[in-house]
Chains A and B, each alone.
Chain A
Amino acid sequence: MSIRQQTDAFDQAPSTEGCRVPYRVFTDRQYYDREQENIFKGNCWSFVGLEAEVPQAGDFKSTFVGETPVILTRDSDGSLHVVVNRCAHRGALVCREMRGNRASLECVYHQWAYDLKGNLIGVPFRRGLKGQGGMPGDFDMSQHNLRQLRTETVGGLVFASFSETVESCRDFLGPIVVEQIERIMCKPITVLGDQRQRIRGNWKLYAENTRDPYHASLLHLFHNTFGLYRSTQTGEALMDANKRHSLLYSIAASNDDAADKQAYGDSRTFDTEFKLQDMSLLKGRQEFADNVTLVILAVYPNLVLQQIQNTLAVRQTVTYGPDEFELVWTHFGYQDDDAEMQAIRLKQANLIGPAGLISMEDGEAVEIVQDAIVGEASATSYIAMGGGRAEDADHLVTEGAIIGFWDNYREMVGFDLEPA
């Protein structure tokens, strides 16, 4: 039976199962503001970068936690620090470059200087000039540091938290996520480059997208036609104990083209007539002993760690507002990649990122939802594929991990904020 026939035969009676998410959470500024406080500045760990982006003492990188500008630094003793990029004096950006190397951080406005941990170490004219001016006698430098976030690393991924009470990062991630991070970050990496895309939609639509194995073969023709990912593949959709995070993985070697053709029927994305002139794009290497060829590890709230064929990347979400976010892709390989492997990764990068033959389509998927729900105060989505509960699945015909995300969101933000 083809997918369409199955859909037609589905019982259309209202179901008590399933998850309904009010569309206002994607459009109403109140929810956005509450997310900044309760999620990004709340009891969560946000991804801020790779250790490999700041390998040397003095290296820094400007980035964001939610919408808040932060700086990731590596101190002279090798330790990593994340501080809010805002001078303790009058609030100016202390670091105005995307990345670089410095012995200390100095605000250009009045030259207040901070060490790489964010401690205030210099205030010009602190004792005045010629006996005039100067800071008050009880001015205590140690009370005017940059806001310092808790900073922890797991497998070379750097996370930061505003919360003093949240559990350790490892515990926040849980064993499944830690295991998957360590699987990909199994040896020293080398950064291949960044890609940035601005998507005109709410960041949570992308959180749904990356927890959604249902769409991947129906939206993305490359996945389905070339068997990179199909819902018929051997794979699983798993969550951590708190169901915040989602692991989708699949094994392309489990493809059965004839049976899969049956399953997908006349689906647009299973197109046996579609051929490539240059198949070198899809020539890769089996580089993991477990034969897994696709991993989408969606880590609450702002990270995806991915392996698609031989492409390895982290995707970081930076929020701009209720209807706009940036996705920062940092591609990497391993330091011991030979020349051929380096070439494979650079060529397969054509599959992902804003120009990716697969990934470009997720931007459009987000935007067509955002465009359709404008101004909607009460209507909801309906999420029920796979049973309509936040449950793990040993198959890829499920939306369970999306519901896990919303269960956590309901707890941290809520679906029913009072109108301002």
Chain B
Amino acid sequence: MMGLPTLEEMQLQHAAAQVNALHAELIDDDRLEEWPDLFEENCRYSVISAENHNRSLNLAAVFCDSRGMLVDRIVSLRRANIFPAHSYRHILGPTRVKSTSGQIVTTQTNYVVLMTRNDGQTSIYNSGKYVDEIDVSGAAPRFLSKTAIFDTHLIDTMMVRPI
């Protein structure tokens, strides 16, 4: 028989869901310059296909191991990279707390990213799950690591925005 969650469990779940919702909001609303602030300085951000992940292969589409690399991805998107104009819309499933260790909460959240290109058509671009380690010790929760494991291993043309 499962007991009801404690107040602390509810608070952790709420904090984790909120930071995930903010993560999606910053990307979808093109506030990409604020996006790296959701991460610790020494963070890991990885977008990896389930095709690779399930074979224990580490090759990711995007792999950053510092907040500086996240900033570099955004500056590159703004200043360097050539790609078709598009926007994202994230649809998030419920965030579940899988475990807690001190001030670090490990969570899992399903997501779908819809893409809209210049021709006005919206398609399912990427679906998968986030597995996150969230540090709740500070004033605002921050990602110590965020791994987007995606089912959609056939990427539509390119991937330039964060998932």
Q: From A11-19, A270-278, A411-419, give the one contacting chain B.
A: A270-278
List chain A residues, Cβ under 8 A from B72: 276-278, 281
In the complex, the chain A residue whose C-beta lies closest to that of B46 is A346
Q: Does B22 contact A (CB under 8 A)?
A: no
Q: How far is the CB of A340 from chain B (nearest CB, A)?
A: 13
Q: Is the CB of A364 within 8 A of B52?
A: no
Q: How far is the CB of B123 from chain A (nearest CB, A)?
A: 11
332-360 of chain A: CB within 8 A of chain B: 346-347, 349-350, 353-355, 357, 360
- How many residues in A have their beta carbons less than 8 Å from beta carbons of B? 38
Give the one of A191, A278, A365 with max B CB within 10 A: A278
Selected contact of A195 from candidates B58, B59, B157, CB within 8 Å? B59
A255-272 vs B, CB cutoff 8 Å, 1 = contact: the mask equals 000000000000000010
Q: Is the CB of A98 within 8 A of B51?
A: yes
Selected contact of A194 from candidates B47, B59, B64, CB within 8 Å? B59
B110-140 vs A, CB cutoff 8 Å, 1 = contact: the mask equals 0000000000000000000000000000000
Q: From A83-91, A113-121, A161-169, A219-227, give the one contacting chain B.
A: A219-227
Q: From B6-14, B97-105, B148-156, give the one contacting chain A.
A: B148-156
Selected contact of A221 from candidates B71, B80, B157, B159, CB within 8 Å? B80
Q: Does B65 contact A (CB under 8 A)?
A: yes
Q: How far is the CB of A195 from chain B (nearest CB, A)?
A: 6
List chain B residues, Cβ under 8 A from A363: 83, 157-158
List chain A residues, Cβ under 8 A from B68: 276-278
Selected contact of B59 from candidates A277, A346, A357, CB within 8 Å? A346
Selected contact of B83 from candidates A198, A276, A364, CB within 8 Å? A364
Q: Is the CB of B81 within 8 A of A360?
A: yes
Chain B interface size, under 10 / 10 to 19 / 20 to 34 / 35 or more:
35 or more
Q: Does A5 contact B (CB under 8 A)?
A: no
Q: How far is the CB of B33 from chain A (nearest CB, A)?
A: 13
Selected contact of B80 from candidates A197, A271, A353, A367, CB within 8 Å? A271
Q: Does B38 contact A (CB under 8 A)?
A: no
A360 to B81, CA, bound (A): 8
List chain A residues, Cβ under 8 A from B159: 354-355, 360
Q: Is the CB of A349 within 8 A of B60?
A: yes
In the complex, the chain A residue whose C-beta lies closest to that of B55 is A193
List chain B residues, Cβ under 8 A from A193: 49, 51-52, 55, 57-60
A354 to B154, CA, bound (A): 9
Give the one of A197, A281, A357, A360 with max B CB within 10 A: A360
B35-77 vs A, CB cutoff 8 Å, 1 = contact: the mask equals 0000000000001010110010111111111101101110110
In the complex, the chain A residue whose C-beta lies closest to that of B53 is A193
A354 to B115, CA, bound (A): 15
A363 to B58, CA, bound (A): 24
A193 to B57, CA, bound (A): 6
List chain A residues, Cβ under 8 A from B71: 277-278
Contact A355:B59 (CB < 8 A) given known A225-B80, A274-B79, A364-B157: no
A365 to B84, CA, bound (A): 10
In the complex, the chain A residue whose C-beta lies closest to that of B57 is A193
A221 to B66, CA, bound (A): 22
Q: Is the CB of B79 within 8 A of A271?
A: yes
A364 to B62, CA, bound (A): 18
A347 to B61, CA, bound (A): 10
List chain A residues, Cβ under 8 A from B84: 364, 367
Q: Does B160 contact A (CB under 8 A)?
A: yes
List chain A residues, Cβ under 8 A from B63: 346-347, 349-350
Q: Is the CB of B156 within 8 A of A198?
A: yes
Q: Does B4 contact A (CB under 8 A)?
A: no
Selected contact of B52 from candidates A194, A200, A357, CB within 8 Å? A194
List chain A residues, Cβ under 8 A from B158: 197, 354-355, 360-361, 363-364
Q: How far is the CB of B68 from chain A (nearest CB, A)?
A: 3
Q: Does A192 contact B (CB under 8 A)?
A: yes
List chain A residues, Cβ under 8 A from B59: 192-195, 331, 346, 349
Q: Does A396 contact B (CB under 8 A)?
A: no
127-163 of chain A: CB within 8 A of chain B: none
Q: Does A199 contact B (CB under 8 A)?
A: yes
Q: Is the CB of B154 within 8 A of A196?
A: yes
Q: Does A378 contact B (CB under 8 A)?
A: no
Q: Is the CB of B80 within 8 A of A281?
A: no
Q: Does A280 contact B (CB under 8 A)?
A: yes
Give the one of B58, B73, B82, B83 with max A CB within 10 A: B82
Q: 10 new A-B pairs (CB below 8 Å) besides A193-B59, A196-B49, A363-B83?
A: A192-B57, A196-B153, A197-B158, A198-B157, A199-B157, A222-B76, A350-B63, A354-B61, A361-B81, A364-B158
Nearest 9 interchain pairs by C-beta: A193-B59, A277-B68, A278-B68, A355-B159, A193-B52, A193-B57, A360-B158, A355-B61, A221-B80
Q: List 26 A-B contacts (CB under 8 A).
A: A192-B59, A193-B49, A193-B52, A193-B60, A194-B59, A194-B153, A196-B154, A196-B155, A274-B79, A274-B80, A276-B72, A281-B72, A346-B60, A346-B63, A349-B59, A349-B60, A353-B61, A355-B62, A355-B158, A357-B73, A357-B76, A357-B81, A360-B160, A361-B82, A363-B83, A363-B157
Interface residues of A (CB under 8 A from B): 98, 191-200, 219, 221-222, 225, 271, 274, 276-278, 280-281, 326, 331, 346-347, 349-350, 353-355, 357, 360-361, 363-365, 367
